Amino acid sequence: MTSALQVLIVGGTHGNEFSGIQLLQRWQQQPLRFDNLMVQTLFANPKANQANRRFLDDDLNREFTPERLCDFNLVNYEALRAKSINQQFGPKGASQTDLVIDLHNTTANMGPTLILLQDCPWERQLAAYVKAQMPEAVILMELEKSYQQWGYLCTIGKRGVMVEVGPQPQSVLRHDILDQMDQMTQLILEFASLHCRQELPQLSHEVEVFTSVENITLPLNDEGKPLAMVHRRVEGSDFTELAPGEPIFQYFDGSVGYFEGERTLYPTFVNEAAYYNTFAAFSLADKLKLEVPAV
Amino acid sequence: MTSALQVLIVGGTHGNEFSGIQLLQRWQQQPLRFDNLMVQTLFANPKANQANRRFLDDDLNREFTPERLCDFNLVNYEALRAKSINQQFGPKGASQTDLVIDLHNTTANMGPTLILLQDCPWERQLAAYVKAQMPEAVILMELEKSYQQWGYLCTIGKRGVMVEVGPQPQSVLRHDILDQMDQMTQLILEFASLHCRQELPQLSHEVEVFTSVENITLPLNDEGKPLAMVHRRVEGSDFTELAPGEPIFQYFDGSVGYFEGERTLYPTFVNEAAYYNTFAAFSLADKLKLEVPAV
């Protein structure tokens, strides 16, 4: 008999992203049951939620780098909470948890996005499975760092993924967004259960994924203040083509800034409210077809 | 010669509504000039903006009731700021300022909305003028209280109006929303200038306005926690018809709540993030055609 996979579903890593928190409540009342999965849930930052903020002192979803987890001089609230979560469900790199699914909202028009941090057969098959069941789903791979080097909470698991659904303003619960997050999360669990039991159905031969390329910051003046906002051409255009020469910035002096890339890329996280303090405008991703290993 | 009207344009009454704050910066560099208007600007709550919050202690845009302005036991930050603003640009009821225009954002899909707090010939003519120049504009009259009884900042002026533009998440600056706020504000100034000089053009005989009727709160359990969220039928449907019997609440137990009104009304402020702590779901307005007094 195959032993059960330990799965952790996390909501409220950011206190003002309400969908995951609401789903945890639902699943505590109506537990998720999938063959061969032991599913636990974690409300990661209830104190930030009480304060209706993303975090109290520091972004919890950046605390889980190996360096920060080992640095006992970091004593802000989220640094301590990270160490506690890592102790309870990790430890990172030698985890008792097979899979962590962390639930997030974005103010950007990204639809239901599955964020993967590794490009291995398991991830490609998961991507193909989710896309087949939920065609509106978007797969975004963040591969700029190794899985272990990311500071994301989900990396305390042997495998970790994020479900990122928007557009939803902070501190709002949208019905449509909640349903999308529910559906995507259950598909991931279904996949993990089928994969564990070696009962996956036939999958497509290839799957479309976006891979993150770079972050685009607003142009700043000498004092570090923004000189421009995101141009309306790019607003709400997550995962659609952006060609070299197209407008990306509307300067406050009336002039326009253009995309100086050498090839067509795809904006993501356009105008994400949580990044206002970093002056992030959007990120750019490439679109690829990846081969899906046969089941 | 007609004496100049004293006009005050206010931004940042709520610290995380960025459009008005940005427009103030633009207009400080490129001052607004309209015949017969003396235009000043006010950044109402820069400390809340620094904290990237709507307010520090209390909602500044509810502080301007006659009672609160006179209550010197109210010593929270916004209560003090309100008294200072009232002293500088009011005082309410005997104001040195002829017109206050207060600029706001909403996370609701309300488009460019002009909120009026009185239904007098001046307001009806303003509504007709703005609608003629900007057909996508929506006029919302809040008449449940007398002008003086509202706690809104703009009521410190002899006349006060609010420009409310969305959808825009808190802490985000959208190009399209900024342009709509800019256009509507300049149309109000243009109207005030033309009205003052008795040079208004011919206006339409009637104008469509929405008048607010009631606030709809989420259903709560005995502990005061929400039992439901706004149903997807109503999400994003500001200023569109809602008929009796249509779904308005999706309960977390899976059941649906229906609109029990006796006639078709129009939701406004659907899922406004700033009202999360009051459990407001949306407001309802009626739609009317009002006669516009001849120029």
Q: What pLDDT digit, counting tens, does each position of B107-148 carry?
A: 999 999 999 999 999 999 999 999 999 999 999 999 999 999
> From CA A20, how far away is CA A29, in angstroms rounded?
14
Residue A216 pLDDT exceeds 70: yes
**Three-state DSSP class for residue A134:** coil
3-state helix, strand, coil in chain A (%, to 5): 30, 25, 45
Mean pLDDT of B69-84: 96
Q: For B174, which of A171, A172, A271 is closest by C-beta distance?
A: A271
Residue A210 — pLDDT band, cuts 50, 70, 90?
Answer: very high
Say whether B216-284 and B5-207 share the same fold: no
pLDDT tens profile A18-61 = 999 999 999 999 999 999 999 999 999 999 999 999 999 999 99
Per DSSP, the three-state class of B261 is coil
CB contact under 8 A, B174 and A273: no
Per-residue pLDDT band for A150 (boundaries 50, 70, 90) equals: very high
Token pair recorded at residue B292: 């516009």
Nearest CA in chain B to A175: B232
Burial class (CB in 10 A: 0-12, 13-18, 19+), A173: buried
Q: Which of A285, A247, A282, A253 is nearest to A108 (CA)?
A: A282
Average pLDDT, chain B: 97
CB contact under 8 A, A107 and B169: yes
Q: pLDDT class for A2, splitting at 50, 70, 90? A: low
Instruction: Please state which of the four CATH numbers 3.50.50.100, 3.30.70.260, 3.20.20.70, 3.40.630.10 is assigned to the domain occupying B5-207.
Output: 3.40.630.10
Assess whether A164 carries a catalytic annotation: yes
Answer yes or no: is B136 a known binding residue.
Answer: no
Which among A170, A231, A277 has the least Cβ separation from residue B170? A170
Is the CATH code 3.10.20.520 the one for domain A214-291? no
Return d(Cα B135, Cα B247) in angstroms, integer. 30
The DSSP letter of residue B129 is H
What is the tens place of the pLDDT at every residue in B6-26?
Answer: 999 999 999 999 999 999 999
Does pLDDT of B180 surpass 80?
Answer: yes
Catalytic residue among A63, A78, A142, A164: A164
- Measured between beta carbons, the chain A residues lying within 8 angstroms of B277 are 52
Q: How far is CA B60 from CA A213, B54, B146, in A?
A: 42, 9, 19
φ, ψ at A127 (rounded to 5°): -60, -45
Residue range A158-204, pLDDT digits in tens: 999 999 999 999 999 999 999 999 999 999 999 999 999 999 999 99
CATH topology of domain B216-284: N-terminal domain of TfIIb (2.20.25)
H helix runs in chain A, sequence order: 18-29, 46-50, 66-70, 77-89, 121-133, 175-196
Residue A172 and residue B107: Cβ atoms within 8 Å?
A: yes
The reported pLDDT for the residue numbered A3 is 78
Closest C-alpha among A132, A134, A126, A147 to residue A195: A126
The residues on B that touch A, with CB distances below 8 Å, are 22, 25-26, 52, 107, 167, 169-176, 178-179, 229-232, 235, 250, 252, 271, 273-274, 276-277
Least confident of B118-122, B276-280, B281-285, B286-290: B276-280
Of B7, B78, B83, the closest CA to residue B39 belongs to B7
- Give B293's DSSP letter: P
In this predicted structure, the answer to whether residue A1 has a pLDDT above a threshold of 80 is no
Delimit the domains of chain B by residue range.
5-207, 216-284
| pLDDT at residue number B3 | 79
* Chain A nearest C-alpha distance from B155 (Å): 29
**C-alpha distances in Å from residue B203, one per residue of B116, B127, B207:** 18, 10, 9
Has residue B1 got a pLDDT over 90? Answer: no
Whole-angstrom CA distances from A123 to A38, A65, A99, A184, A213 are 20, 21, 12, 14, 19
* CA B250/CA A11 separation, integer angstroms: 20
Of A119, A180, A179, A162, nearest to A268 by C-alpha is A162
Q: What residue type is B168 in one-letter code?
A: Q
Measured in degrees and rounded to the nearest 5, phi and psi for residue A38 equal: -105, 105
B104 labeled binding residue: yes
Residue type, B92: K
A5-208: CATH class: alpha beta
Read off the pLDDT band of B76 (50, 70, 90).
very high
Q: Which residues of B touch A276 (CB under 8 A)?
A: 52, 171-172
User: Annotated binding residue at A17?
Assistant: yes
Q: What local confidence, expressed as pLDDT, does residue B2 receive?
A: 60
* Distance in Å, alpha carbon of B230 to nearest chain A alpha carbon: 7
- Interface probe with A: pick from B16, B59, B172, most Cβ of A within 10 Å: B172
Nearest by CB to B229, from A52, A173, A271: name it.
A173
pLDDT tens profile B77-111: 999 999 999 999 999 999 999 999 999 999 999 99
> Which positions in chain A touch B22 (Cβ < 8 Å)?
229, 252
Residue of A nearest to B251 (CA): A175
What was the pLDDT predicted at A256?
A: 98
**Residues of chain A in Cβ contact (below 8 Å) with chain B:** 22, 25-26, 52, 107, 167, 169-176, 178-179, 229-232, 235, 250, 252, 271, 273-274, 276-277
**Catalytic residue of the set B164, B241, B262, B291:** B164
On the question of pLDDT at B66 being above 90, the answer is yes
Nearest Cβ partner of A252 from B26, B231, B277?
B26
Tell if the CB–CB gap between B276 and A107 is shorter than 8 Å: no
Using the predicted structure, report yes or no on whether residue B223 has a pLDDT greater than 80: yes
What does chain A come to in residues?
295
pLDDT tens profile A65-85: 999 999 999 999 999 999 999
Which of A18, A22, A55, A173 to probe by mutation at the B interface, max B CB count within 10 Å? Answer: A173
